[in-house]
Chains A and B, each alone.
Chain A
Amino acid sequence: MTEPTTRPDKGKRVKTDSREEYSVVGTSPGHHDFVDKVRGTLLYAADWKLPGMVFGKVVRSEVASGRIVAIDVEEAERLDGVVAVLTAADVPHNAVVEHASGGLGEVTVEQPVLASNRVRYVGEPIAVVAAVDQETADEAADLIRVEYEHLDGVYSPEEALADGAPLVHDAGNVLVNWQLQRGDLDEAFAKADVVVEDVYRTQHVEHAYLETEAGVAWIENDVVTLRVSTQVIEHATEIARILGLPDSRVRVIASYMGGGFGGKEDMTVEPYLALLTWHTRRPVRMVWTRQESILASTKRHPFTMRYRTGADRDGRIVAMDVDIVGDAGAYPCLSARVLFAGAALSTGPYKVPVLRARSRAVFTNNVPTSAFRGFGAMQVVLGYESQLDALADAVGVSREEIRDRNYVEKGDVVASGEPITTAVAVTETRQRALARLGEQSAPSGPGKAVGQGFANSMQPYGRTIWFRDHAAAWVTLQSDGTLLIRSGVTDLGAGQAASLCQIASEVLGVGLDDISVYIGDTALNPPAGGTFATRQLYMSGNAILRASHALRDQLAPVAATLLDAEPDELRWKDGKVATSSDGSVTLADVARACQDAGVDTSVLHTWRAPAGRFDPEVGQGGTFPDYTFGTHAAEVEVDLETGVVRLTKYAACHDVGRAINPVRVHGQIQGGAAQGIGYALSEDCPSVEGNPVSTLFANYLIPSTMDIPDLWVDIVESGEGRGPLGARGIGEPPIGPPAATIASAVEAAIGRRPTQLPITPERVLALLTDPPVNEEDR
């Protein structure tokens, strides 16, 4: 039997490259913020208290579609302890315009900071109050009376796309239309020996980070300063625009986040904090309640995915036709880009010579949807993996065999027509995941059915390349040989800052305990561009690697002179610079010698990612820098009487290129798998005519310790990623496969394929009835 492991496993790593061995990279030191975290001393966004601080509260719409007839704030203003009640009239520039795709085709829609006239979803901000304590602020918010005229709304993309549907925005109900295409679709399908097709549906889900949206704002030297839980400090410019201030007068500091997952990529508390501190000139704190966070924060897009796949008699895919409709909710946010990723990744890690992949983001009067780990590329895994399983059945080969006949390889083109330029180790990740899963277990009793399944995925890392992405890092050797790193990176808890330390330590030989890293501050750090799109190891990792090398190159001649050696024979390790013989000096010696020699001990480096263009008319072009591949495998036991799906075994394997910190790589894979398991089985934000039904943690069900078995994780290190030292991004990829994996396992157990998420007992029972109930209730 295969020995399962969830542990980073030195002995079994695959080294496909022959580069030098590393001494810091590839190890898993627990250092930096992680020490503060286990001590309980890290100060999150809400743990900030300033003299005279007041407390904010957002007043939100109670109707999904309506016109504001009147807002009565008098009673709230009269309440003892209230210091500000602000409405749309108090917002200098009351519009946020998001062109998430970079202007490649979406309509222009303004999102008000505070609604003045029209409200478009339940939870839309209308007013914001501040008071001397939270209870008074909450009471004042309750005292604000909003009179609405109800308007007809649309509560699903299907309703929104119907002829004569009420308009969410004057610009129309379709935010963006994408189409990727190659070859003659009709001709290819006409020649296909086998065609499979189906429709797959996914749901709204909530990020449910344990730390809700929070922050504190104050004014310092006439600069509006915010310390918030955010993935993107670059929103400072949008905040400045809202306040009508120059960019130089707004500073954003990101605290270490208690989880983000994409939900802190758009602004959350920032505009409200900024307005309140600007109007009151007092420090202000705002912490969204859990219920407010579930009600009104952005969600993952529900996708309706129509797939048709044609193949020859051996199961080799000849064409794929995909049509995706995503519910954007009431405002654009990042939907244009999410739906692009959905279309671009809709064919998965398979060779598809002829294709049409269309996607639309459709406005509704539901809560806005936006970034969430996986970003459109994860919903489609259920689509393409379900199609591959169906194709296997249609052709009469195993699920493994159908994939072996269709996997992309390095050099093959993806849906956008670009070649894959790094290793595709998906055969190996599959073999390892299945080996970890082991033999199928016997049912635990009568009325139970056991099944195993697996799914592959392909997730981009890095921004779409037409954004010409870049990130800067600044390293400074101090006179005592310690090192400062300054970077605008924000840290969601995945070790974004700590990883920079490990890379710099590897190059410069400064011990990890001698490195301090300062992150997430628009005033004091060079910009790193936000932590999203699995881009920070790729972007800031490359930046810190190059900055560290540049600093070493700058220091080397000075060190070489001290040691009477050649610069390129020096070794940088353990706080020392050594020659190949026995001479060595400390980094402090080198730093002091630099001072005497007039050599800078500081380097600021900006790394620019390769750029490219996508042609939205032709439907081909440059899309993503690279991809991370992986496979998950699961065993489930289905209770045939209740429909309950119990996950009994789970294994996951990804090619991470190179693991900078194996414990944290495993942590990303385990956490992503767990979040994907919740998505597959229990998480859902249903609503009735735009009114959310689950707004409590008690009925929005994220997995607990009792819902998830031990997760067995393995990694492949192909050494071919585009990140530093051959690393690939691993933040988002692990959330892709779980839903398709579990659907595949359930099908193996009961003989019917779940096509709608989450796979609830009710839906399983519906599949078990004969004939199956064709549910289209959403």
Chain B
Amino acid sequence: MMRTQIRLTVNGVEHELWIRNDRTLLDALHDDLGRPDVRYGCNEGVCGTCTVLVDGRPASACLTYAVQAEGREITTLHGFADPTDDLHPLQRCFLERGASQCGFCTPGMMLTAAALAERAPDADRDDIRYELVGNLCRCTGYTAIVDAVEAWVRDGAPDTSDDVEEPREASA
């Protein structure tokens, strides 16, 4: 298999890689660059677990060859919210609503939500459900995730006055 020397810009930092041409961006990010926030889920582009932002738009890293990503700005969850900073408001919304159970889908879910909020700051519940259709979750049943993203889009930060929130108003 041919190899190519490429430069990948990940979260603003440039990396040089000598990589097989058949390795995906997921392989490069998770295995070669050791990023735990980009995860293998299906390698079919179905589950959204490996979602990263490529030039600001959500993309499945498993469907992109690493060599195709040269010259693009790649953002992983840690580029969106640095682990050494305080929790990002979106992360606090997820944490407090139990929107992250096993946590495996969480980085991809958050990046898709972040791109939606950037593009459509007035997104409602239906928009959020539509946007997140490509990010599968097997633990939460999605309601808490939609709640978390909605709260963040609406308020920018969760209400931290109490551990347990008040019931959500009737939407039906």
Contact = CB atoms under 8 A, between A and B. Distances in A.
B44 A697 contact: yes
Interface string B5-41: 0000000000000001011000100110010110111
Interface string B50-81: 00000000000000000000000000111001
Contacts of A40: 36-37, 76-78, 83, 106-107, 110
B120 interface: no
Contacts of A37: 100, 102-103, 106
Nearest to B101: A493
Nearest to B103: A37
A359 to B, nearest CB: 28
Contacts of A261: 138
Given A493-B101, A710-B146, A670 B140 contact: yes
Interface in A133-168: 134-135
Contacts of A708: 141-143
A40 B11 CA distance: 14
B137 A210 contact: yes
Nearest to A5: B167
A38 interface: yes
Interface in B107-147: 107, 110, 125, 128-130, 132-147
A711 B147 CA distance: 11
Interface stretch (A7-15, A266-274, A405-413, A685-693): A7-15
B59 to A, nearest CB: 17
Given A35-B87, A258-B39, A290-B41, 7 more contacts: A38-B94, A38-B95, A208-B138, A210-B41, A289-B43, A670-B144, A706-B130
A4 B164 contact: no
Contacts of A704: 132-134, 136, 142
Interface string A303-325: 00000000000000000000000
A680 B83 CA distance: 40
B39 A39 contact: no
Contacts of B102: 37, 209-211, 256-259, 492-493
Contacts of A258: 39, 102-104
A38 B44 contact: no
Interface residues of A, number: 73
Contacts, number: 212
A353 interface: no
B103 A493 contact: yes
Contacts of A672: 141
A494 interface: yes
A41 B83 contact: yes
Contact of A4 (B30, B136, B170): B170
Contacts of B31: 49, 134
Contacts of B135: 705
Contact of A210 (B87, B104, B171): B104
Across the A-B interface, the 8 shortest Cβ-Cβ residue pairs:
A493-B102, A37-B103, A258-B104, A674-B141, A40-B37, A670-B141, A5-B167, A30-B95
Contacts of B169: 3
B133 A4 contact: no
A211 B103 CA distance: 10
Contacts of A135: 1, 20, 22-23
Interface stretch (A120-128, A334-342, A658-666): A658-666
A693 to B, nearest CB: 16
Contact of A34 (B40, B41, B103, B145): B103
B40 A209 contact: no
A558 B87 CA distance: 40
21 contacts: A1-B170, A4-B170, A6-B147, A9-B167, A30-B96, A34-B100, A40-B36, A40-B107, A209-B104, A209-B138, A258-B102, A492-B102, A494-B101, A667-B140, A671-B101, A674-B141, A697-B41, A697-B44, A697-B136, A706-B129, A706-B133
